Amino acid sequence: MEQKLNNIQQHMRSNNLRLIQIPEAEGENLTDKVYDIFTNKMKVNINKSEITPVYRVGRRNDTKPRHVLVSFTDNSIKMATYNKKKFLKGTKIVIKDDLTPHRLKVVIAASDKFGFKKVWTVNSNMFVKTDKGVEKFSVNE
């Protein structure tokens, strides 16, 4: 039952991405800020209407900005954006899948075991780079 619930929750997040380390300002227009990052820094061909809603999640913290949750109108638009994350190299901004707490724990455990740069997710599927090559792992259990 828990696995089914987790799968449903993950499916509800399937069109979402989390942006990390976007500076936070009082009265900010977050949609404009994210749209600017996508179009100018990442060179994504996207309309503002395809990235709604956009909001910060978590508790306010004076030392680091809260994550930004971006919901896309379509998974193909999300993936087109996610696939251009390489354009953010050299910035502090990081883009991640929006994972359920259970799946996030599995990914963190794998990162601890294999190393942060050898573990990633795409559409909530986890991939690990090992000596044998890249392996896909299910995080449903």
Q: Is the pLDDT of residue 141 over 60?
A: no
Query: Band of the pLDDT at 20, cuts 50, 70, 90?
Result: very high
Residue 46: the pLDDT is 95
Residue 63 half-sphere exposure, CB side, CA atoms within 13 Å? 0
69 pLDDT exceeds 90?
A: yes
CATH class of the domain whose range is 2-98 = alpha beta
Angle between helices 101-114 and 2-12 (to 10 degrees): 90
Which part of the chain is CATH 3.30.70.1820? 2-98
pTM: 0.84
Q: From CA 24, how far away is CA 74, in angstroms rounded?
A: 26
Distance of CA 57 to the CA centre of its chain: 13
| Tokens read off for 87 | 């354009």
Residue 140 confidence class, pLDDT cut points 50, 70, 90: low
Q: What is the pLDDT of residues 72-97, one digit of tens each?
A: 999 999 999 999 999 999 999 999 99
Distance between the two ends of the chain, CA-based, in angstroms?
A: 11
